[in-house]
Chains A and B, each alone.
Chain A
Amino acid sequence: MNVPAASGDGGATTLVAGSSLWADAWRRLRRNRLAVASAVTILALACACLAGPWLIAATWGHDEQSQDLASGPRPPSWEHPFGTDFYGRDLLVRVLAGGRVSLTVGLLAALVAATIGTLYGAVASYAGGLIDAVMMRAVDVLYALPYMFLVIILVTILGKSLLLVFLALGAVGWLLTARVVRGQVLSLKEREFILAARSLGTPAHDIVLRHLIPNVIGPVIVTFTLSVPSMILQEAFLSFLGLGIQAPRPSLGALISDGAGQMLVFWWTLVFPGGLMAVLLFALNFLGDGLRDALDPRLER
């Protein structure tokens, strides 16, 4: 790995006071405008999704499930900024409530997946030899099974609740993270600082937790931010099959699949949930890139 040397005279001394990895990363992240804009967007959308449905209910008196068949599918208006759907339900409040469900499922499932995957991949790779072979063949077997099939079995056995949806998605979604982390650790563990840590008597669990995992946090965060959108899409698929979020409650995926069926007639039923989803996915990706750069202390310019 090429490491830019600290620039000659005073390069080392002019650097500000010692700061933790996270403080350093935060300072670098703030300089990345796109990442900051994305973070602000995600936060704003998350706040809107959290508080929006409640505010609308308090102001106009309708929530995501109140129907008014007489005001059937209507295009956007002052009264209903995103229009209404086939049952006369306000689309704005439904999109916000759906965003809340999707974000929760996506973030928590991705978090479960990243945690399991990181620990599993790091342990397998550092242990090496037979342990590594057995652990990674288990991953291969799970990988070979149809992913959705596993999730569907899990959801069917465990029951249909929001909590179980993200547990099931996370429990199956860690495979990619485990592989990414294993690959990273495979090269990391040959680096001299791991040898140095061993030469100082650091026990194996400390090497994995304190030396290897901080070094793979960059790729893990990138995988994490990329898996949030895919978790959101998979939740949509589960909901479509009737195994995820149950019918009157909205999720972004469910709203999009409803909207896709009638987009030529009632375009607003697709454009608004689809637009929110697209903005979220873009922002998550940009933020992931920004975080990866920020978390690498050697990228200091």
Chain B
Amino acid sequence: MTRPATDTVLAVRDLRTFFHGEGHVVKAVDGVSFDVRRGETLAIVGESGSGKSVACLSALRLVPSPPAFHPSGEVLHGGRDLLVMPEREIERLRGDRLAMIFQDPLSALNPYLTVARQLTEVLEVHRSASPAAARREAISMLERVGIADAAHRIDHHPHQFSGGMRQRVMIAMALLCRPEVLFADEPTTALDVTIQAQILALVAELRRELGMAVVLVTHDLGVVAGAADRVAVMYAGRIVEEGTVEEIFARPLHPYTRGLLASTPQIDMPDRGLLAAIPGLPPDPAHLPVGCPFQPRCDRAVDRCRQASPQMAVFTTSHRVACLEAGEAP
């Protein structure tokens, strides 16, 4: 395992999150390691069910256990392992140093409480702010994320906001304490395309302004190309390739990454060009194939792929891949 670099704000090491199923174990996250560096955006890309959301929730220890358990793994922040610290201490970090925004801002906001109540609560919990001071700060944060007439709108309930505005409220709530790492779990999936761009621009702007790191979970490679510095590609609970955004897009090494890129529509595609699709379906995490989890769908699979699961191999200093055939890529 590599030692975290000095500008690493969060280091995830060999994280495994398993769930007890009926008579079997579901390996949702199966040995994931990544670093999040100050001020960067790390995108975690993968299909539905690849374990990218669970990996993020596990890093904040938000997966209820039981039924989940961690057979191995460390999540290091400030020299301490989040997975073993007392609940009271991790509560102090969540929302303060580490925050998260969710896919659907309507269901992520409490329908019964005004936006004011939900925002000031964060400041009261972490900063012991007086109600008046918390309200002032909440209003200025709402203004910062682009909510017009924030002093008046703050007393509304979530259902009185539009989808994009709700996501702005959610972002304001997560950023109130100026966290070092913001986990964004598909923050634009539930929004219109035009709103998506606005929200991503806002997150990028706030990232620069506050110097925080962003972990962007998405299945949208367009979003990745525009917003990320580094990319980690997840498949069946593992990271199969990791590199800078240029490396991943210009020189993808893993057959799965290549398949993902080939299946993304391009504006300059020839007329009536058919989109490539990866054959087959993602594996059931309760019954993973033997060897490389991607081998049943892989057009380059050879016998040794069916025998042992490939380890991460360093390709360049920033580019790593878990594929036995990657070195001989065309």
Contacts and interface: CB of A to CB of B under 8 A. Distances in A.
Interface of A: 3, 6, 12, 15, 17-21, 24, 128-129, 191-193, 195-203, 206, 210-211, 214-215, 217, 297-298, 300
A200 B123 CA distance: 10
Given A17-B152, A199-B100, A203-B125, A12 B108 contact: no
Question: Which of A21, A24, A193 has its CB near the most chain B CB atoms (within 10 A)?
Answer: A193
A3 B113 CA distance: 16
B113 A214 contact: yes
Interface in B107-132: 107-114, 116-117, 121-122, 125-126
A192 B185 CA distance: 12
Contact of A202 (B93, B107, B111, B121): B121
B246 interface: no
B100 A196 contact: yes
Contacts of B125: 200-203, 206
B122 A196 contact: no
A242 B113 CA distance: 47
A279 B256 CA distance: 71
B111 A298 contact: yes
Contacts of B114: 18, 20-21
A203 B93 CA distance: 11
A192 B152 contact: no
Nearest to A203: B91
13 contacts: A3-B106, A17-B152, A18-B154, A20-B114, A191-B107, A193-B108, A195-B108, A196-B109, A200-B122, A200-B174, A211-B110, A214-B110, A215-B111
B157 interface: yes
A20 B157 CA distance: 9
Contacts of A198: 62, 94
A202 B66 contact: no
A195 B157 contact: no
Contact of A199 (B99, B107, B152, B159): B99
Contacts, number: 112
Contact of A193 (B110, B152, B161, B174): B110
Nearest to A198: B62
- Interface size class on chain B is 35 or more
B173 interface: yes
A201 B113 contact: no
Contacts of A200: 94-95, 99-100, 121-122, 125, 173-174
B60 interface: yes
B155 A129 contact: no
Given A128-B64, A300-B159, 12 more contacts: A3-B106, A6-B161, A18-B116, A18-B152, A196-B173, A198-B94, A200-B94, A201-B93, A202-B95, A206-B121, A215-B111, A217-B112
B102 interface: yes
B156 interface: yes
B159 to A, nearest CB: 6
B104 interface: yes
A193 B107 contact: yes
A231 to B, nearest CB: 27
A192 B104 contact: yes
Nearest to B124: A206
Contacts of B156: 15, 18
A111 to B, nearest CB: 21
B159 A195 contact: no
Contacts of A128: 64
A232 to B, nearest CB: 30
Contacts of B38: none
B111 A297 contact: yes
B102 A195 contact: yes
Contacts of A19: 155
Contacts of A21: 112-114, 157
Given A15-B160, A206-B125, A210-B121, A215 B112 contact: yes
A193 B109 contact: yes
Contacts of B108: 192-193, 195-196
A196 B100 CA distance: 7
Interface string B76-116: 00000000000010011111100110101011111111101
B153 interface: yes
A18 B154 CA distance: 8
Contacts of A202: 91, 95, 121-122, 125
B54 interface: no
B66 A129 contact: yes
B162 interface: yes
Contacts of B157: 18, 21, 24, 297
B199 interface: no
Contacts of B155: 17-20
Q: Which 8 A-B pairs have the closest CB atoms?
A: A18-B155, A200-B95, A201-B95, A201-B94, A199-B100, A196-B108, A192-B107, A214-B112
A193 B159 CA distance: 13
Contacts of A201: 91-96, 122, 125-126
A77 B126 CA distance: 71
B122 A199 contact: no
A33 to B, nearest CB: 25
